[in-house]
Amino acid sequence: MYDVAIIGGGVAGVSCALVLGSALEKPFAQDKKVAIFTHQKASSLQNGLYNNAYGIPPGTTGQELMRSSLEHLSTQYPKVTQIADQKILALSKSSDGYFVIQSADEIFEARQVVVAVGSASAFIIAGLEDYVIPHPKAKAEKRRIALKNQDHWVAEGLYVAGTLAGHRSQLSIAAGSGASVATDIASIWNDNQPTQIHDSVPQSV
Ligand SMILES: Cc1cc2nc3c(=O)[nH]c(=O)nc-3n(C[C@H](O)[C@H](O)[C@H](O)COP(=O)(O)OP(=O)(O)OC[C@H]3O[C@@H](n4cnc5c(N)ncnc54)[C@H](O)[C@@H]3O)c2cc1C
């Protein structure tokens, strides 16, 4: 049973995992378990070239980012479980109130779920149909979708991040969206106190 399962190993999903990974080092989150499904075959990063994203050297390809972001996550925050190559097919809630996450091969359980699978309409995870709306900020002819949400909150324990949350498709926006969800979850873990996770350079005396 994971406390949080993030579905989608693209920009928003990995960004969410990085901030939650940093929260796991805090006393209020020490017993929490976080997993991310790092399937990347359907990522916008596959063909992207990034010259205008904050902190990313111009000329970086999405292919490089797909590799380096997961390496960053495993090196810096090894407590976050990365589950590779599992395309999630269905999501439901058990009578006990936890989520049942189903891939072709396995079933996983989590108390909270962050859906960050991008806004392409070709495939939607079964169980999310009731929340699907046309993407509010994409061209209609592209037939993008979003999940109805209020500041990323979809339903009890269920969040959406990235372009699927209705944001425009820019890397920095998707990354910020994933990080935003992570701090909302960290705030709940931290007794509902507004929470952000910062590191600082040690000051010399
Ligand atoms: C060709 C191209 C060029 C771009 N150039 C720029 C640019 O120059 N500057 C800029 O700022 N932005 C650019 N973008 C946009 C940017 O890449 C996206 O806005 C960003 O990747 C969206 O992040 P996301 O997390 O919402 O989706 P993604 O990064 O696409 O991540 C979604 C993830 O979910 C996974 N997934 C999907 N379905 C499932 C499932 N059922 N189970 C498990 N995992 C699943 C996917 O494989 C993927 O890893 C470009 C996009 C494209 C396509």
Question: Residue 43, exposed/middle/buried by CB under 10 A (0-12, 13-18, 19+)?
Answer: buried
Q: Find out whether the beta carbon of 118 lies less than 6 Å from any atom of ligand 1.
A: yes
Cα 131 to averaged position of ligand 1 atoms, centre (Å): 20
**What's residue 40's pLDDT?**
85
- Rounded Cα distance between 126 and 58, Å, is 38
Along the 205 residues of the chain, how does pLDDT read in single tens digits?
A: 999 999 999 999 999 999 999 999 999 999 999 999 998 888 899 999 999 999 999 999 999 999 999 999 999 999 999 999 899 999 999 999 999 999 989 999 999 999 999 999 777 899 999 999 999 999 999 999 999 999 999 999 999 999 999 999 999 999 999 999 999 999 999 999 999 999 999 998 7
- Mutation choice for ligand 1 from 171, 173, 177, 180, CB with most ligand atoms inside 8 A: 171
Closest to 171 (Cα-Cα) out of 89, 38, 49: 49
Instruction: Classify domain 2-189 at the CATH superfamily level.
Output: FAD/NAD(P)-binding domain (3.50.50.60)
- Rounded Cα distance between 85 and 105, Å, is 10
Q: Whose CA is nearest to atom 5 of ligand 1?
A: 48
- Rounded Cα distance between 196 and 192, Å, is 12
